[in-house]
A and B are shown apart, each in its own frame.
Chain A
Amino acid sequence: MDQSVDIKELNERIQQESSFVDMITMEMNKVIVGQKHLVDSLLIGLLSDGHILLEGVPGLAKTLAINTLSHIVDAKFARIQFTPDLLPADLLGTMIYSQKNEEFMVKKGPIFTNFVLADEINRAPAKVQSALLEAMQERQITISDHTYKLEEPFLVMATQNPIEQEGTYPLPEAQVDRFMLKVVLDYPKKDEERLIIQQNLLKKFPEASPILKPEDIIRARDIVKDVYIDEKIQKYIVDIVYSTRQPAEHGLPKYAEMITYGASPRASISLAQAAKSYAFIKRRGYVIPEDIRAVCHDVLRHRIGLSYEAEANNLTSEEIISEILNTVEVP
């Protein structure tokens, strides 16, 4: 860790550069009612350069939220509806023959954009999912002999529906691990739902205005990288992640038989990055344990494998994470 970071100076920089956070939130709130956690998670993903998997029943404004965010950032946006007959080439692009030029030309797919909305990702077969997830990790696409770098910022936001599992291809653990956050959406509150009705009955549906450029996001990401994370916080992250791997040794013997595999080192990295972004959103130049706890569920919930016993006991990864947070000592 860079000990030469001047926290005071960093705090001042963050105060200046993070003003867009409020603006994004404000613009998002014009369109999305409630779902504050979703908006925060999208911002964390955007600032941490991490992809997001959204899970929720239909009609919770998943697609609308991502669409609105891309509109606010004024970046290129592509929405891909994943279907069982989708092919990797439909996503990445392919070589087509140009009769005019009498040569094969590259026809880039919709993934060559800044924001990709992979709608209902679990409806496409494994080879398409694999192609997307490779692009997510490598940030480049190879078509024929040519490799093409993807534009920055590149953010994939995938949605999946927890119900209607028939005819779906659940994401393999190795691939789901590539999503930095898995955000689970719940129904809006009564008051929020009433506002949603009122908003949708208006003659013109509200629209968010573009207030940011992609460069602003890249600049903000540089500042987020400078956010100070103390070694005590790093140890806290490691303790949490290790508790998912060896629960018995961390005071949770009851979960020893419930967890088949724990979070990967990628989870530790994601936890640290997401906590930094969260600290940035909260206008802080340093990470505190509250930041870790705030993002812990979203970072770890898709990275813990539950055993048959856990499923038989209706135990969820949410409960395990909560118990871990209540057991691991805060620095």
Chain B
Amino acid sequence: MNVTRTMKHITYVLALLLMVASGVQAQEIKARATLDRDTILLGDQIQLNLELEQNIGPKIQFPQIPDSIGKSIEVLERTPIDTIKMGDRRIMLRQDFLITAFDSGPHPIPPVWFKLKYDQLTDSVHTNSLSLFVQVPKVDLKKGPADIKKPFDAPVTLKEIAPWLFGGILIAAIIFLLIYAIRRRRKKLPLFQKPPKPKEPPYRVALRKLDQIKEEKLWQHEHVKEYYSRITDTLREYLEGRYEVTAMEKTTDEIMAALKYDAVKLDEKSYKQLKEILELSDLVKFAKLIPVEDDNQMTLANAYFFVNQTKIEEKLPEEEEKENDEDNGDEEVTIDLSDKKGRRKS
């Protein structure tokens, strides 16, 4: 008798422990089902979300939702089951369904059951039940029959236009490259080329060449003809660069005639000086004239003077950049302590 009573007590205690344990499990696992909205028009589409929140450990068997829920709700699309980490030991499993219904009236969505599997035990948890109400569009019979509504224009998505967009850009790029390649080929230029170096200002080239002529002491070594030829060639090259007069292909008279134009605006002194240099050089080059030493020196001096008198100071891009850098370095920086912000004054 006593044994029977003791066994009963043990059974009650075990049952109580099992109930407590299952209550703890139920607290740790939360299953939830939600709808975007609970009322839709006939044929409208809404999202049904299933979520299961739990600790890491038990294996979950996610329910297999068939293509229809109940008699009237149809499942159109379903996403894969997504696992979201909620914390160190907690995760959420989620799956979304696109559903619709074509029967009016209330449609209950029954709870969805999830099966949990521990080491040796199995358990289950379910979501809340939902209700979806499907309305029929109200028809005003007094207004009479209405036209069939045109199909809605679905907004164009980037995904739809992306292939056309990128395809168009690609074709345009290919056409551009082809035209570019043909043009380069016609001009007999390489397909790809480094940008040309910025041109040195003509006066610099001229002054450098005149320096070189001076250093070589040509007339002192009896190369008078070469001396004058090089001075005139330097000046003619300078005129080409400075005034865009094709001086290398012109005679002295033609050069002087070209420099008389208003566009050139050469002052009278420079004009006269250049004429003297070129005419004397012509005599040396073509008439075997041997000028006196003073003439040799004066010609070079006049050439320097002419270039300096008519030059336009131009700076190379690197120099401009360098100067800008220097200017920036010299900028005065003052600190306004009132608002504790450094302000740059230039």
Interface residues of chain A, those whose CB is within 8 Å of chain B, are 3, 5, 7, 228, 230, 232-233, 284-290, 293, 325-331
Contacts and interface: CB of A to CB of B under 8 A. Distances in A.
Contact of B246 (A7, A284, A326, A331): A326
Count chain B CB atoms within 10 A of each CB in A289, A293, A330, A331 and give the residue with the most: A330
Contacts of B251: 288-290, 293, 330
B287 interface: yes
B289 interface: yes
Interface in B220-273: 229, 246, 248-254
A36 B318 CA distance: 57
A299 B140 CA distance: 105
B288 interface: yes
A228 B248 contact: no
Contacts of B285: 230, 232, 331
Contacts, number: 48
B249 A286 contact: no
Contacts of A5: 288
A230 B286 contact: yes
Contacts of A290: 251-254
Interface of B: 229, 246, 248-254, 282, 285-289
14 contacts: A3-B288, A7-B287, A7-B288, A7-B289, A232-B229, A232-B285, A233-B286, A284-B287, A285-B287, A286-B287, A288-B251, A288-B286, A325-B249, A330-B251
B269 to A, nearest CB: 25
B288 A329 contact: no
A326 B250 CA distance: 7
A224 B282 CA distance: 20
B250 A286 contact: no
Given A233-B286, A288-B251, 13 more contacts: A7-B287, A228-B286, A230-B285, A286-B286, A288-B252, A289-B252, A289-B286, A290-B252, A290-B253, A325-B249, A329-B249, A330-B250, A331-B286
A7 B282 CA distance: 13
Contacts of B246: 326
A329 B289 CA distance: 22
Contacts of A289: 251-252, 286
Nearest to A232: B285
B249 A326 contact: yes
Contacts of B254: 290
Contacts of A286: 286-288
Contacts of A233: 286
Which 4 pairs show the lowest CB-CB distances between chains A and B? A286-B287, A289-B251, A290-B251, A230-B286
A330 B249 contact: yes
B223 to A, nearest CB: 14
A284 B253 CA distance: 16
Contact of B288 (A228, A293, A326): A228
B246 to A, nearest CB: 7
A27 B288 CA distance: 35
A328 B253 contact: no
A59 to B, nearest CB: 34
A325 B249 CA distance: 7
B323 to A, nearest CB: 37
A328 B286 contact: no
A5 B289 CA distance: 12
Nearest to A327: B249
A288 B301 CA distance: 25
Nearest to B232: A331
B256 to A, nearest CB: 11
Contacts of B289: 7
Contacts of B229: 232, 331
A314 to B, nearest CB: 24
B248 A329 contact: yes
Nearest to B285: A232
A123 B257 CA distance: 44
Nearest to B247: A330
A6 to B, nearest CB: 9
Contacts of B252: 288-290
Nearest to B249: A326
B250 to A, nearest CB: 6
Contacts of A3: 288
Count chain B CB atoms within 10 A of each CB in A284, A288, A325 and give the residue with the most: A288
A284 B287 CA distance: 9
Contacts of A325: 249
A7 to B, nearest CB: 5
A234 to B, nearest CB: 11
Contacts of A328: 249
Nearest to B288: A7
Contacts of A285: 287
A284 B285 CA distance: 14
B225 to A, nearest CB: 8
A287 B249 contact: no
Nearest to A285: B287
Contacts of A230: 285-288
Contacts of B282: 288
A331 B251 CA distance: 8
A287 B286 contact: yes
A240 to B, nearest CB: 11
Contacts of A329: 248-249
Nearest to B246: A326
A228 to B, nearest CB: 7
Contact of B287 (A228, A293, A327, A330): A228
Contacts of A327: 249
A226 B288 CA distance: 14
Count chain A CB atoms within 10 A of each CB in B229, B248, B253, B286 and give the residue with the most: B286
Contacts of A326: 246, 249
